[in-house]
Amino acid sequence: MTIPFLPLAIVFIPLFFGILIFFVSHEQFKLAFALSASLFGLFLTSLCFKYVTSGYILTSDSFILAPDIVLLFRIDALSLFFALITTFLWVLTVLFSVKYMEGNLKKNYWAFLTLSTVSALGVYLGGNLITLFLFFEFLTLFTYPLVIYAGTDEAQASGGKYLLYLLAGEVFLLFAVVATISFGGGSFSKIGMLSSLSDFRFLRFLLLAYVLGFGIKTALFPLHRWLIGATVAPTPVTGLLHAVAVVNTGIYGLIRVVYHIFGLDLISALGVSNLLLWIASLTIIFGSVAAFRQDDLKKRLAYSTIAHISYTLLGVSVLNANGLVGGLIHLASHALAKLSLFFCAGKIYKETGKTKVSELSGLGYQMPLTLVFFTVASLALIGVPLTLGFLSKWYLWMGPLETQRPLFILVLVISTLLCAFYLLPIVSRAFFRSNGKIKIKKVSWFYLLPIGVTSLSSLFFGVFPTIFLNLTRQIVQFFLGG
């Protein structure tokens, strides 16, 4: 079924608002446009839900800019899954920014925030490789001004590192994209674009280029330094990088590569599944250990992202249905929980100026609600029953079990333990170690609403996961045919 309107609208209506922000000078208008961009994004994306879950793929008309350079947008279940997460969290990020950026708002904050997220939507909705690539690169470029937002030397240095890593990755990605288009056409309309090729050496090289291209954006070890450096950005931006837009596009790309561009048969034939699993495991263990050793709260969360995003890669590369479902749901649960944690960290920093874990003693008595939400989000990330994290880990464990690879379950167990070790001490320190001051501050709704919604939705979706399960069923059906 072709509804050319919807995929275009999801990208271009928010894009229109984003560009409009550059041309208005009044602060209130800028905010209004940014908010309406995100609301439109969320609204239009949810409109697609009904069509997609009943098995349709919505495809737009294509804009032929030149031979090969064709813009095309399409929504299938995988696109929608990612787009829903992004747009939902986008609205909350905008709300959180209102209070957080108060008094520190520079000219183009809203514009770049909007454009970055729109680029991420463009990546998800890209109906061929070139569209995906173009928006992937735009995402890097539009987030750069946000990373160097503080304007300090440290921010500039981190920004330089950010650009260097991501753009270097995109060089490999472009190579792989051009090669794929030359040999297999770039459109996502068929699964297994490269299946006509039989030169396995070249295919492995191509896969390596793809993994480098997308993997740098998911901060695979040892190419993760940019993500840690980028914690100098304001907290909503960090949230954008870790949960809303940036790393998600990387993992989205990897899923497309494995299941769509190469296709299940070709990937199994290449015999690279174990290699991918090892890369993912290494990153998981490294990220968890590094998070455990980190005292800076934001950096601890950043290392935790590195680990958790690779859970998804692990789930994807066991190459069975449970693994894929687990990986996808874990991505959603991680995004919700991690955004909530970052919001809490941001609120703590804004109201007390504290950035280190060791300084947080007794904070639970000053801002009880925040810390309660922090606890809920931590539990969700660890994967305690009744949270979405539990569901995702359940499927993630099933994946390697089915294929008789118990070693990787051990990786998951160790990292879950580590996750508990690096998150729960924060909670216990805040609640059980008093620093004598008990003074409950008045809370702003602009803070509490996004934090509450993100962390409670981990609980809500943990109990009612139907939305996610419906979509993942479609995705599995599409890629694995069963």
Minimum distance, C-beta of residue 435 to another protein, in the bound complex (Å):
39
Establish if 168 lies at the interface with another protein (CB under 8 A): yes
Q: Which CB atom, from 51 or from 205, has the smaller least distance to another protein?
A: 205
Minimum distance, C-beta of residue 102 to another protein, in the bound complex (Å):
24
Q: In terms of C-beta density within 10 A (0-12 exposed, 13-18 middle, 19 or more buried), how is residue 431 classed?
A: middle
Q: Which CB atom, from 202 or from 445, has the smaller least distance to another protein?
A: 202
Nearest to 371 by CA among 416, 419, 432, 421: 432
Q: Is residue 307 within 8 Å of residue 217, measured between CB atoms? A: no
Q: Is residue 250 within 8 Å of residue 211, measured between CB atoms? A: no
Nearest to 384 by CA among 331, 451, 462, 461: 462
Is the omega angle on the peptide bond into residue 222 within 30 degrees of 0, that is, cis?
Answer: yes
Minimum distance, C-beta of residue 71 to another protein, in the bound complex (Å):
10
Establish if 157 lies at the interface with another protein (CB under 8 A): no
Minimum distance, C-beta of residue 416 to another protein, in the bound complex (Å):
39
Q: Which of 133, 311, 343, 461: binder of another protein (CB under 8 A)?
A: 133
Q: Which of 151, 293, 464, 477: binder of another protein (CB under 8 A)?
A: 151
Q: Which of 24, 163, 409, 414: binder of another protein (CB under 8 A)?
A: 163
Q: Which CB atom, from 39 or from 174, has the smaller least distance to another protein?
A: 174
Establish if 43 lies at the interface with another protein (CB under 8 A): no
Q: Which of 105, 141, 369, 414: binder of another protein (CB under 8 A)?
A: 141
Establish if 171 lies at the interface with another protein (CB under 8 A): yes
Establish if 150 lies at the interface with another protein (CB under 8 A): no
Establish if 16 lies at the interface with another protein (CB under 8 A): no
Scanning residues 68 to 127, which ones bind another protein (CB under 8 A)? 68-69
Minimum distance, C-beta of residue 297 to another protein, in the bound complex (Å):
29
Report the alpha-carbon distance of residue 36 to residue 259 in Å, rounded.
34
Q: Total binding residues for another protein by CB under 8 A?
A: 27
Minimum distance, C-beta of residue 156 to another protein, in the bound complex (Å):
8
Interface mask (CB under 8 A) for another protein, residues 195-224, using x and -? Answer: -------x--x-------------------
Q: Which CB atom, from 152 or from 268, has the smaller least distance to another protein?
A: 152
Residues contributing to the site for another protein (CB under 8 A): 64-69, 133-134, 137-138, 141, 148, 151, 163-164, 167-168, 171-172, 174-175, 178-179, 181-182, 202, 205
